[in-house]
């Protein structure tokens, strides 16, 4: 597993689709939250989601783990890759573009250390 563990959460019955599997939108929301933790410090917003893939169904009771890392960084945005695992098996992945925002909600330059 590449990246750092950002979120772990148990899949619950209220998160299922009509087939009884965990709803893909629920996984996407966890992935979005994970990308936000890795995004630039301070206020940021998701600008785009690219290349999201679902490989295996997630079941009620599964412990879902989101790992993430920075793929690239621009002047005002960061692209974060998120992998989702259940029992050491990848079930989904995607790339999230997060834009750093100032206190007025406008893009701001990301400070580098």
CATH of the domain at 59: 3.10.129.10
Q: Is the pLDDT of residue 113 over 70?
A: no
User: Domain for residue 109, yes or no?
Assistant: no
User: Domain for residue 86, yes or no?
Assistant: yes
Neighbouring C-beta atoms of residue 49, cutoff 10 Å? 15
Q: Which residues pair with 90 in a beta bridge?
A: 85
User: Domain for residue 52, yes or no?
Assistant: yes
User: Domain for residue 105, yes or no?
Assistant: no
User: 93: domain range?
Assistant: 4-100
**Number of domains composing the chain:** 1
User: Domain for residue 50, yes or no?
Assistant: yes
pTM (2 d.p.)? 0.91
Rounded Cα gap, residues 11 and 25, in angstroms: 12
**Closest alpha carbon to 6 in 78, 82, 59, 71:** 82
Tokens of 25: 């939108």
- For the chain, give the percent of residues with pLDDT over 70: 99
């Amino acid at each position: 597993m590449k990246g750092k563990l950002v979120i772990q959460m148990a899949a619950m019955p209220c998160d299922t689709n009509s087939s009884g599997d965990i709803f893909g939108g629920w996984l996407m929301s966890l992935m979005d939250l994970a990308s936000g933790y890795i995004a630039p410090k301070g206020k940021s917003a998701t600008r785009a989601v690219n290349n999201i893939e679902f490989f295996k169904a997630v079941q009620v009771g599964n412990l879902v783990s989101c790992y993430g890392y920075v793929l690239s960084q621009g002047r005002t945005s960061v692209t974060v890759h998120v992998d989702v695992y259940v029992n050491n098996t990848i079930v989904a992945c995607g790339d999230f573009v997060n834009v750093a925002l100032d206190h007025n909600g406008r893009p701001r330059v990301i400070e580098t250390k």
